């Protein structure tokens, strides 16, 4: 029996940043949870939060030996196949999601639609 592929891929830069955030939190976490919410002019935006437990319906996977990622069940169909990266430049830093399901993005880049 083969394993199911992870719902998203996570770059080394994103894994390093997640580890840094988890280490700096000050209390144990299972990992991070990725979701989407209604926001912005295009409709949806990504959310990230610390996960203290794996919820029953979360899609969870081990992105690395020490990093678990949970996908909120309401977000799975919107972000399946997405690549999560962390980018730093002179003006800003943050997680960047490359989502093959996106049909459009607002001009400011804050929200997307599928």
Percent of the chain with pLDDT over 90: 34
Q: Which residues contact 45 (CB under 8 A, 6 or more apart)?
A: 36, 37, 39, 110, 111, 112
SS3 state at 94: strand
pLDDT band at 109 (very low <50, low <70, confident <90, very high): low
Q: Which domains does the chain possess?
A: 8-103 (2.60.300.12)
pLDDT digits (tens, 9 = 90+) for 38-51: 866 657 888 999 99
pLDDT band at 78 (very low <50, low <70, confident <90, very high): confident
What value does the mean pLDDT take over residues 62-85? Answer: 90
What value does the mean pLDDT take over residues 80-101? Answer: 88
Residues paired with 9 in a beta bridge: 83
Q: Which residues contact 93 (CB under 8 A, 6 or more apart)?
A: 86, 87
Higher pLDDT, 4 or 25: 25
Angle made by CA atoms 84, 80, 78, in degrees to the nearest 5:
100
pLDDT score, position 28: 84
pTM of the model: 0.82
CA 98/CA 37 separation, integer angstroms: 17
């Amino acid at each position: 029996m083969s394993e199911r592929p992870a719902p998203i891929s996570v770059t080394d830069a994103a894994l390093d940043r997640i580890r840094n955030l988890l280490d700096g939190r000050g209390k144990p976490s299972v990992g991070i949870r990725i979701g989407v919410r209604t926001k912005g002019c295009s409709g949806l935006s990504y959310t990230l939060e610390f996960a203290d437990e794996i919820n029953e319906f979360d899609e969870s996977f081990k992105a690395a030996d020490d990093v678990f990622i949970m996908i909120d069940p309401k977000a799975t169909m919107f972000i399946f196949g997405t690549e999560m990266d962390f980018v730093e430049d002179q003006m800003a830093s943050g997680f960047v999601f490359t989502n093959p399901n996106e049909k459009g993005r607002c001009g400011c880049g804050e929200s997307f639609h599928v």
